[in-house]
Structure formats: structure tokens, C-alpha cells
Amino acid sequence: MLVRLESGAACACVDRRGGELRSWFAGGRELIWHGDPVWWDQSAPILFPIVGWASGGQIRVDGSVRPMPVHGFARQHTFALSSCDSGSVKLTLASNQETQKVYPFRFQLSVSYVLASSSLTVNFSIENLDRRSIPYALGFHPAFRWPFNDVPRHKYRIRFEAEEDPLVPEVTPNGLISARRIVLPLKCRTLDLADELFASDAICFLNARSRLFSLGAGSSGSSITLEAAGFPHLALWSLPGAPFVSMETWTGHSDPEGFTGDLFEKPSMRILVPGETADHCVRMSFRAAE
């Protein structure tokens, strides 16, 4: 089920199950969390057709209530292998009888990984194959080793391209977006990583100003950067004490607390008309210490 990519000394492994990136080796080190179930058994899931939690684990479409797991169902399905060479692979997930039980729309989700010596580009496309418009949200949820080198864990930090609002939504115990806000210790576009940041849940930068953010190993010069196109929301997530931190890009987010509307009415959902295709991209790059 694993597809291996190579580019010089760099390599990556992609699992057809979920279309999930399982390994990215660059700069002489493994960067992706290896999915140890002691902490979290995933590495970089693709989130579709929702991001985050639906209230009560259910969505409403056409007047009926349907079950929907957190972050949707794409990560539970095996993608078809569309094309592959030494440094790239394209995988697709098409709607089927199982997906239509919970998401009654015809679609095709494609993801391609393109490896270079110090970068990995992930391209997504969602095509509406239905006779009516379809609502969707897409997310990319890569978790990186923290630490990824010999710099002490407490010296790692996130740096944003632009100044972000330190007031971010509080996430409720059942994963919903609250109207309440928490204050982050952001300093000059920089957030020092600490376990207490993740005591409740993810840190959500909704409608972020930045399209680029980086995980830096102190003053060593080593960093992992994510540059997002077509993803208005950014997020960070970990568990207290866990040896990974996830840097996420989202087009949508969890239901707001108290939301009971139709999926078409859910805030931040994208709507595709029949025959339309939407494209999104994340470019991850690694810079080693000089």
C-alpha cells in the first residue's frame, strides 16, 4: 500500500490508504511523525469532505441527518493509483456507494505528491461530478517530529509570515468552535511552542493573514516551512508531552457551537457547481542549519 518517492538523497512514502504521507526524509533526517499509537496513530491525514467536528457527529443534507466522523471520511478509504514515477505520485478517491451513504454527492478528490531535494509539494483537486452543487471542506494535517534535531524541545517555535491576531477561538470539549476567545503569547509573529498551548485542543487561526508559517529549531537555523495556496485557515495541534506538532491548512473548520443548519449553510464550506474543479496546494520545504 506504500508508494516510495526518491529525489537525490530525499525520499518520501505515501500510503494509498487515505492518500496519507507517512514519511519525508530530507536534509539527512526524518521529518514526519511516524504514527506511534501510544500518542497518535496517524502522520499526515487528508481531511475531506469536512474539517474538524460536526455537531453530534452528524451533518444535515436534504432534510436528513447523516453520520460524519471527525475530519470526514477520506482518511478511511483506499485511493486509486492514477500515475507514478520515481519522484511523484497521483492518487484519486471517487465517490462510491459507501461515501454516498454519508455524503450524497458525486465527486473526485485527487492528491499528488511531488518530491524535490529539499521540498515536497502536495496538490489537491476536487471535481464536482454531480448534477447539482456540492459543499466541501478540505484540510491537510501533517505532523512533524518535535524535536526533529538535537535542539531541546522547549526551544522550538512557530514563525508566521504576517502578524496574526493573538485572540483565537476556544475549542469546546466536543471539538466545536466557541464564541469565546483565548489569548496566545504571540511575539513579533513568533509563537514559542510549549505543552500548555495544547492543553485543550487545536489552535485555530481562522482567516489567517499568513499564507506561510515555519517550525524552527531555536537559533540553529533548521526549519520546516509550509506555504499554502487556497487554504484560508491555519492551525497547530499536539498533545501535552507528545513528540510531534501538527501544522495544518484548512479551507473549512468545525461547526460553531450551537450550529444546527444544513451542510450548505455551515460557515466556511466551499460550494462547487456541477462540472467545476477546485485546486489547493501546500508546499513543504526543509532548511538545514548552515
Task: Kindly report, residue by residue over 10-53, the tens digit of the pLDDT.
Answer: 999 999 999 999 999 999 999 999 999 999 999 999 999 999 99
Print the domain residue range for 29: 2-287
Q: Is the pLDDT of residue 87 over 90?
A: yes
pLDDT of residue 244: 97
Q: Is the pLDDT of residue 274 over 80?
A: yes
Dihedral sign (CA 236, 260, 229, 111): positive
Residue 218: closest CA among 193, 187, 243, 186: 193
Q: Which amino acid is at 98?
A: E
Q: How far apart are CA 259 and CA 272, in angstroms?
A: 22
Q: Which three cell numbers stand for residue 130?
A: 454531480
- If one counts the domains in the chain, the total is 1
Q: Is the pLDDT of residue 265 over 80?
A: yes
Task: Kindly report, residue by residue over 208-253, the tens digit of the pLDDT.
Answer: 999 999 999 888 789 999 999 999 999 999 999 999 999 999 999 9
Residue 80: closest CA among 29, 17, 129, 143: 17
Q: How far is CA 268 from CA 20, 72, 91, 256, in A?
A: 24, 15, 26, 11
CATH no. for residue 141? 2.70.98.10
Task: Kindly report, residue by residue over 44-56, the tens digit of the pLDDT.
Answer: 999 999 999 999 9
Q: How far apart are CA 238 and CA 195, in angstroms?
A: 8
Which residue would you say has higher pLDDT here, 217 or 145?
145
b/e code 223-247 from CB counts within 10 Å (16+ = b): bbbbbbeebbbbbbbbeeebbbbbb
